[in-house]
Structure 1
Amino acid sequence: RSWTLGGEAFTRETFERMQSVLKPERILNGYGPTETVVTPMLWAAYEGDTLTSAYAPIGTAVGPRKLYVLDQDLNRVPVGVAGELYIGNEVGLARGYHQRPDLTAERFLPDPFGEPGERMYRTGDLVKYRDDGVMEYLGRVDQQVKIRGFRIELGEIESQLLGHEQIREAAVVAQPSPTGDRLVAYIVARPSVGAALEPRTERSEAPSLNVTAILDDLSQSLPDYMVPSQLITLEAMPLTPAGKVDRKALPAPQWQTASEGDAPQTDNEQTLAAIWQQLLGRETVSRDDNFFALGGDSILALQVVSRARQQGLALTPKELFEQPVLKELAVQAVSAQASVIAQQPLQGALPLLPIQQHFFSLNPPSPSHWNQHLWLALDAPMERPALEATLQALYQQHDALRLQFTREQNGWAQTCLPADPPSHELLWWRQTPDDAAVSALCEQTQQSLNIEAGELFRVLYVQTPQQPDRLLLVIHHLAVDGVSWRILLDDLLSAYGQALAGQAITLPERTHNLGDWHQALLQWLQKNGDERLPFWQAQQPDKTSAALPAYAEKQSATLSLDKEDTRRLLQDAPTKLGVSVPALLLTALARTLKPSSVGAALEPRTRSREKSLDAIRGSSAAPTGNLPLVINLEGHGRETRLASGMDLSRTLGWFTSLYPVSLPFSDDPRQNLFAVSQQLQQTEPDGGVGYGALRFLADSALNDSPDAPVTFNYLGQYHDDALIQGFTPLRGGGTAQAGDNPMASPLAINGQVVGGQLELVWDFASSVYDEQQIAHWCGRYRQALQALLALADAPREACADPALVTRLNRTGDLPVLWCPHPVTGRTTGYQALAASLEGQWQVRGLQSRSFLEPGWFDPSLNEMAERYYRTVRQQQPEGPYYLLGWSLGGALSMELAHRLEQAGETVAFVGLLDTYVPGHEVAEDQWSSPQAQQTLREHLGMLLTSASSMALDDCIARLRDSKPAQWPQRFTQWLATQPIDPALADSAAQLLHAWAVEQHLRDLCWGYQLPALQAPVHSWWASEPAGRARTLENGLGECVEFAHSEAVAADHLTIVREPSFLQGLPALLGRTKTRDSLTEMPG
């Protein structure tokens, strides 16, 4: 007997029941959407077979069907990796949906792997291939939901549930709750032993399940954000008339019940939930939420601790990190009365903290003008008496605002003044006629502080006609840091509200003061200093005699990631790779400033600037080899975990930690990432605070340590809700630092996630770096970071691909000249060259894989070059090798030559034909120019004459907002909305695909770095436009040896077929040819 099933996913429980009860000789699982007519796939099981997966496999193809498992960009995924199933071959494929051209275009797509005109059907089913070629069903793609910022495949959770011995059926859906959408699992229990054959009656009860145990099991195999908030047991799943689970008919969960509700319950939970909502911008927070999964970070954690103390709960940052789930953290919270901290104001002499000593070690000529400030627009005017009372209360409450510094014979000293009303004017209340007067007042305020007079705090209130009132708060950096501002703004609003209401101002209790922290550091040194000293000694940069540049030289450049890449940075990559966000950012930096004789020569425009890269690498030696990158890292420095019971959550002051880290470099990006991650983990015992204590508070080998020439600071995620309501931050506010003061480092990179996008601001000294160099590094950084993010997507391993090779002339017993494609991705441009070498050389091109697999787009130039290298080695196992490249093909030829040389092979000839030289000709942003967009619009308009002008504008807008790899899919979607002849649409799609490939390759070039070569280089440069050839030749000539270099009377497009070049090439190649070049080639 044979039993056949179909129509719905076939679960393991059903399979086992059939085997045990029906005992069939064979079970067939037929798979096939209606659109593919009958059964394109089949899986067979026989008596005695077992099943380990949650669902029965859907098998293999029946007949000539083509099966593809693809990602969202229509790239094939490796065996074992989940993707969407597409079914091809016109046999059995429906024509489409009756009178639904939009849906037809969405589900029936051109088959990029088939013959011209063939289609494939998008099933919407999530599947994966097993090693034996059998396909497994995992769920529906359209069951993907987003919970707490994470994209979740519901089928994965259902598969885990179905693997539980107590569960027969399972369905998971996202249901609305008081705290947003939550996961709810509906399950049907397996019947008890002997009950399988009993008829089900209306009084039948679902077998009891241990819900807690099931959730515990899930938490062991799934990330916390994929564990359902509720498990609801059903007697049977509701079904549609077609026999499928009717998800809309599943009962709504009861979120407010005492047994299963996840709203905050205890007083502590409710208090903490309210604080989380304020800081994280959430309308609701559940008792099961994880602080960091909601977007919290270490700086916001300090605010949680501070606000909890204001509400009467004592917490430490360490407790929040160890117990980030609300209900668990609430148990840790105790009454703040249990932790008693002296409340009297600090007064008298006070030792300098490490970061303050570092400040004075820079010997700033204008030490009083080194400020931080906030420039704010007010939603409503403030009253002067209430604001004056508020500022006086802040001055008396916060010790750091009363610091006074004295220049003594052995250096600087600080004193904390009594908490009396200030002797200087805290508030400048001014009325101004226009913005010019406002700017002058802001500058005057910035320059008005005097650290030797104890004037570290000034507030400017400005009233200007026809504009909202504005408030400038200026504090000397010696008294404030980033965390301090959040404390200060909280107190300012609270105190002002009390003063405005005529109440006496009462601020929350003090936490430990500056002196307490200094004493805690000394105690830490006694216990841990000797143990940590060797590690910090190993991080030291080389000493340099170069003076720090002046602040007046500071310029800035900003690099931003889009929201999707930022999401991958914050969520996907750390989870899948097991590394931190700082590890990813710093590895990208290490790879950006990779030591290379080519890189060192290309980026600085003069030889004097070549030394800048060497200095950054922390070495005065030749800039080659895998030298570490030594940088300074900044942290908030409030590492209270180093001192039991220490609380700085409401303490103003400058606590920043500044410490060097030697970042290793490896050619392999994955190894590089993990090496950097391990290095950062070694800083965790003291969070960098130990370095400052050893350098400035102890007699140690670090006392005379130099600073690294690069500083990096990642500030986490910025939340608008963390700012006090009623204020709007403004740009400007005057110059925070005197121009004659030194920059802390010639290059400082500050990163923060703002509005869901990573922003990296590169502050650099114009006397050390120029804008072109920084722009080039920004491009390289973007490429390096995106390559690291791609590691989390499990890209296919680069391997040899003979299909990439194009034979451009007749083959024979001749040496081979390899010609990688230019930026177009095609090799047709070499045809004139191949004809000129007929009978002397085999000319073989390397074309982009994108024209073999239209959904394929290489993730980076390095991975593309690796694939080409393996292809060349497969086709020609031994040297000598001859390479020639035009445009981008020149860079690829150098990549191939570099890899061949590393493998010990002989590279006899490298020819560069008007090649791309990074940093000297920037054309990477071509698509961003209106001219390029207009050109594409005109080309499409000539083909698609029936498309309206408005429709073409819509098409270009869709492409403008997406990456080139997404263009074909976006264009197909747009075509589906237009009344266009299919033949013309196909031609337009091919045109668009060619544009997408070229622009994608241009994007990959952004920030690219050429490799170093031992082989001499032969180069030809287009002489038009005038001056360009010399610029490119000089750029490349500083880093490679030229065996031959000349300008050709042609432009970039025509040089490859210029007769003078073609006539001279054979003789030049002939001089390099040896007897060993007669290599037998396959085919």
Structure 2
Amino acid sequence: SAIAAVWEELLGVTRVGRRDHFFELGGHSLLAITVVDRLRRLGYALDVRDVFAAPVLGDLAAIKGRDGTVVVPPQRIPADCERIVPDMLPLIDLNQDDIDQIARHVPGGMTNIQDIYALSPLQDGILFHHMLADAGDPYLLTTTMSFPNRELLQRFLLAVQHVIDRHDILRTAFLWHGLSHPAQVVLRSAQLNVREIELDSADGPVAEQLAERFDPRRECLDLGKAPLLDFIVAHDADGDRWVVIQRLHHLIGDHSTLDVLRDEVHAILRGRTGDLAMPVPFRDLVAYARLGEPDESHETYFSRILGDVHEPTLAFDLADVQQQGGGIEEFRQALPASLNNALRHAARRLGVSVASLCHLAWAHILSNTSHRDDVVFGTVLFGRSLGGEGIDRAVGLFINTLPFRLDVGKRDLASAARDTHDRLTQLIEHEHASLALAQRCSGVVAPMPLFNSVLNYRHNEAPIELNDGHISNATHPMAGVKVLSDEVRNNYPLTMSVEDFGDSLALTALVSSSLSGQHICSYMQCALEKLAEAIEGGDRVVSPYRLDIVPATERALIAAWNTTARAFPTACLGELFEQQVRRT
């Protein structure tokens, strides 16, 4: 009855029975985290993986909980510590020379070091790509904004400093040169770096000058200096405003981190600092990744899933997955409300998540563009399934990208959707595995990539109402601020993000400049439409076992291009010469 009460409250339904299905009632991964948090407070030893494995209420109630709970070792460096030794660092293997070298690099020395620990699996991968980059950084997230006056800008920057003071990951530097292992070093105090520069509007629009001068394809942050978040400010006299570029490195945050950062800044500006939740230490994730599921378990799983994969899945024959973020274009597209409703209805009908349907649709797109039924692509995992109070609002890089394999050949669509859901559930067990480990378990020999595309299904809060780009609510603490642009990049030539706003869906494509983001989004929309129609109609098989991903307008254009029939003369060649002579 306690589990049913939690479901009723969070799913917004009147009554839940023992045979009711979490996903058929509209549940999803983000909501599952909240469910687990509530149930843990009631004494249930569950995590999100249990909700996916046992989505029926009666089955979930019968689960006794997991025995392998990770005990996070306490932080052992006391305040004002002047001598840090290896025994104080349970989450990384460093010797005394390593520690002393780190202390020499940190402003304030050892007394300013709060903790030192290893990198998470995805942080390892991002650092690898950072080190490969010849110029710029493929994982630098930039947002350009304008502020109507200097006073609001100053209040905003003070609020950001307050958020930095709250969260350890925002005071973290990354060091690796000369160390036994790469380390993230949490400082007790780190000051926000704000650079104000003077630009002449006679040289062009200030926002464009800033974007050109601090293009992440050429500029990068010093990872050894915390915080890996800074601001560049310039006064725009022509527009009577202040233009600001915010740069945050992906090593310290993901999409959810940006949401939390924004919400906490807004709360501070409203004077509601006391309402902010207790921060969740990022070291907890490092502990889960380091002390949780052993590498042997990950290797067994990925060897079973990928061991017989000997050829990569290369959509559009793009093999370069080390693009360093250059030559990547972005396109965004909202999906029709009718399709949003159809997908949610189809997911509930099958007892799967909308994310599962999107993975199946993406697999069909890759099948059509790589000429193979058995495809592999990267999927972005939320990384918060182990739960814990406040984990859904934790700041840091929790997500992880891992390979996902699906065979779309001659598949019943309903069973294919359920199989996709089951495979995603199994993958959650290994969400903190290293991508490098997973790739080594396949039969694809390095340096050939295992896949060249990524699907990212992510839950978003409803966007703030804007008027010509400005925050239109006069009572909002950021009223008058305008978001001019934002840019997210990675090293893959093809990334599709499905944005779930709760009551609507949208697509964001990051694609190589050799492709069209608009076309990729149209293929995804078409595949989702065909999938929803097939499930709604009860179709068992779609011949020739692939969803049609080409929109009707594009198919008509292709047909027109191939309409090459022309009237051909029936006279003999000699007669044609005679006719030509008479004409001339």
Report the Cα offset of residue 312 of structure 1: 13
Work out which of the residue numbers 279, 285, 295 in structure 2 matches 1:510.
Answer: 279
CA displacement, residues 694-713 of structure 1 (integer Å, 9 cap, x when unaligned): 74599978996844111111
Work out which of the residue numbers 534, 546, 553 in structure 2 matches 1:791.
Answer: 534
Q: Quote the Cα distance in structure 2 between the aligned partners of 1:673 and 1:796.
A: 8
Q: Quote the Cα distance in structure 1 between the aligned partners of 2:37 and 2:244.
A: 25
Which residue in the other structure is 1:454 paired with?
226
Which residue in the other structure is 1:523 paired with?
291
Which residue in the other structure is 1:1048 paired with?
566
Which residue in the other structure is 1:834 paired with?
none
Residues 1:510 and 1:755: Cα distance change in structure 2 (over 3 Å):
closer
Which residue in the other structure is 1:371 paired with?
140
Which residue in the other structure is 1:353 paired with?
120
Q: Is the 8 A contact 1:747 1:765 kept in 2?
A: yes
In the alignment, is residue 711 of structure 1 matched against residue 454 of structure 2? yes
Residues 1:534 and 1:589: Cα distance change in structure 2 (over 3 Å):
same
Q: Quote the Cα distance in structure 2 between the aligned partners of 1:379 and 1:314.
A: 50
Which residue in the other structure is 2:463 paired with?
720
CA displacement, residues 447-474 of structure 1 (integer Å, 9 cap, x when unaligned): 4632123341113566656667666532
Which residue in the other structure is 2:407 paired with?
664
Equivalent position amino acid for 1:682 in 2: R
Residues 1:299 and 1:286: Cα distance change in structure 2 (over 3 Å):
closer
Q: Quote the Cα distance in structure 2 between the aligned partners of 1:788 and 1:401.
A: 42
Which residue in the other structure is 1:555 paired with?
329
Work out which of the residue numbers 555, 560, 564 in structure 1 matches 2:338.
Answer: 564
Q: Is the 8 A contact 1:391 1:426 kept in 2?
A: no
Residues 1:568 and 1:443: Cα distance change in structure 2 (over 3 Å):
same
Report the Cα offset of residue 477 of structure 1: 0.7
Residues 1:323 and 1:784: Cα distance change in structure 2 (over 3 Å):
closer
Report the Cα offset of residue 756 of structure 1: 5.0
Which residue in the other structure is 1:990 paired with?
none
Q: Quote the Cα distance in structure 1 between the aligned partners of 2:419 and 2:539.
A: 26
Q: Is the 8 A contact 1:632 1:710 kept in 2?
A: yes
Q: Quote the Cα distance in structure 2 between the aligned partners of 1:308 and 1:659.
A: 28
Which residue in the other structure is 1:437 paired with?
206
Residues 1:563 and 1:651: Cα distance change in structure 2 (over 3 Å):
closer
Task: Indicate the structure (1 or 2) with the bigger Cα radius of gyration.
Answer: 1
SS in 1 for 2:416: helix
SS in 2 for 1:659: strand
Instruction: Give aligned pairs, total.
Output: 491
Q: Is the 8 A contact 1:432 1:462 kept in 2?
A: no
Q: Is the 8 A contact 1:580 1:677 kept in 2?
A: no
Residues 1:433 and 1:419: Cα distance change in structure 2 (over 3 Å):
farther
Residues 1:464 and 1:662: Cα distance change in structure 2 (over 3 Å):
same
Equivalent position amino acid for 1:677 in 2: R
Q: Is the 8 A contact 1:449 1:455 kept in 2?
A: no
Equivalent position amino acid for 1:393 in 2: H
Q: Is the 8 A contact 1:377 1:469 kept in 2?
A: yes
RMSD over aligned Cα, in angstroms?
5.4
Q: Quote the Cα distance in structure 1 between the aligned partners of 2:461 and 2:275.
A: 29
Report the Cα offset of residue 355 of structure 1: 0.5
After TM superposition, list the pairs within 5 Å mapping 1:674-693 onto structure 2.
Answer: 674-675=415-416, 677-687=418-428, 689-690=430-431, 692-693=433-434
In the alignment, is residue 635 of structure 1 matched against residue 165 of structure 2? no
Which residue in the other structure is 1:118 paired with?
none
Work out which of the residue numbers 337, 346, 356 in structure 2 matches 1:573.
Answer: 346
Equivalent position amino acid for 1:482 in 2: H
After TM superposition, list the pairs within 5 Å mapping 1:603-622 onto structure 2.
Answer: 613=369, 617=370
Q: Is the 8 A contact 1:658 1:692 kept in 2?
A: no
In the alignment, is residue 425 of structure 1 matched against residue 172 of structure 2? no
Equivalent position amino acid for 1:568 in 2: A
Report the Cα offset of residue 302 of structure 1: 5.4
After TM superposition, list the pairs within 5 Å mapping 1:839-918 onto structure 2.
Answer: none
Report the Cα offset of residue 593 of structure 1: 3.6
Equivalent position amino acid for 1:1049 in 2: A
Q: Is the 8 A contact 2:321 2:493 kept in 1?
A: no
Q: Quote the Cα distance in structure 2 between the aligned partners of 1:734 and 1:389.
A: 22
CA displacement, residues 624-653 of structure 1 (integer Å, 9 cap, x when unaligned): xx5311111112222215xxx586344321
In the alignment, is residue 402 of structure 1 matched against residue 187 of structure 2? no
Work out which of the residue numbers 747, 756, 759 in structure 1 matches 2:494.
Answer: 747
In the alignment, is residue 1032 of structure 1 matched against residue 572 of structure 2? no
Residues 1:432 and 1:295: Cα distance change in structure 2 (over 3 Å):
farther
Residues 1:565 and 1:698: Cα distance change in structure 2 (over 3 Å):
closer
Q: Quote the Cα distance in structure 1 between the aligned partners of 2:233 and 2:156.
A: 10
In the alignment, is residue 762 of structure 1 matched against residue 509 of structure 2? yes
Equivalent position amino acid for 1:298 in 2: S
Report the Cα offset of residue 390 of structure 1: 2.6
Report the Cα offset of residue 340 of structure 1: 11
Residues 1:760 and 1:473: Cα distance change in structure 2 (over 3 Å):
same
Q: Is the 8 A contact 2:306 2:441 kept in 1?
A: no
Deviates more, 1:443-452 or 1:390-399: 443-452
Residues 1:350 and 1:636: Cα distance change in structure 2 (over 3 Å):
same
Q: Is the 8 A contact 1:573 1:789 kept in 2?
A: yes
Report the Cα offset of residue 529 of structure 1: 3.6
Report the Cα offset of residue 672 of structure 1: 4.4
Equivalent position amino acid for 2:224 in 1: E
In the alignment, is residue 298 of structure 1 matched against residue 29 of structure 2? yes
Q: Under a length normalisation based on structure 2, what TM-score does the superposition of the two structures give?
A: 0.65
Q: Is the 8 A contact 2:320 2:493 kept in 1?
A: no
Residues 1:764 and 1:650: Cα distance change in structure 2 (over 3 Å):
closer
Residues 1:542 and 1:412: Cα distance change in structure 2 (over 3 Å):
farther
Q: Is the 8 A contact 1:777 1:1007 kept in 2?
A: no
Q: Quote the Cα distance in structure 1 between the aligned partners of 2:184 and 2:231.
A: 22
Q: Is the 8 A contact 2:356 2:424 kept in 1?
A: no
Which residue in the other structure is 1:588 paired with?
361
Report the Cα offset of residue 1006 of structure 1: 6.1
Q: Is the 8 A contact 1:557 1:775 kept in 2?
A: yes
Q: Quote the Cα distance in structure 1 between the aligned partners of 2:377 and 2:430.
A: 16
Q: Quote the Cα distance in structure 2 between the aligned partners of 1:515 and 1:717.
A: 25
Work out which of the residue numbers 444, 457, 475 in structure 1 matches 2:248.
Answer: 475
Report the Cα offset of residue 492 of structure 1: 1.7
Q: Is the 8 A contact 1:299 1:483 kept in 2?
A: no
Q: Quote the Cα distance in structure 2 between the aligned partners of 1:759 and 1:727.
A: 25
Q: Quote the Cα distance in structure 2 between the aligned partners of 1:862 and 1:704.
A: 33
Residues 1:558 and 1:592: Cα distance change in structure 2 (over 3 Å):
same
Q: Quote the Cα distance in structure 2 between the aligned partners of 1:444 and 1:312.
A: 54
Q: Is the 8 A contact 1:717 1:752 kept in 2?
A: yes
Which residue in the other structure is 2:396 paired with?
653
Percent of counterpart pairs with the same letter?
Answer: 16
Unmatched segments (≥5 aa) in structure 2: 62-70, 80-112, 466-470, 572-584
Q: Quote the Cα distance in structure 1 between the aligned partners of 2:38 and 2:179.
A: 41
Report the Cα offset of residue 353 of structure 1: 0.8
Residues 1:450 and 1:349: Cα distance change in structure 2 (over 3 Å):
same
Q: Quote the Cα distance in structure 1 between the aligned partners of 2:169 and 2:51.
A: 27
Equivalent position amino acid for 1:360 in 2: L
Which residue in the other structure is 1:251 paired with?
none
Work out which of the residue numbers 167, 174, 183 in structure 2 matches 1:414.
Answer: 183
SS in 2 for 1:347: strand
Q: Is the 8 A contact 2:306 2:442 kept in 1?
A: yes
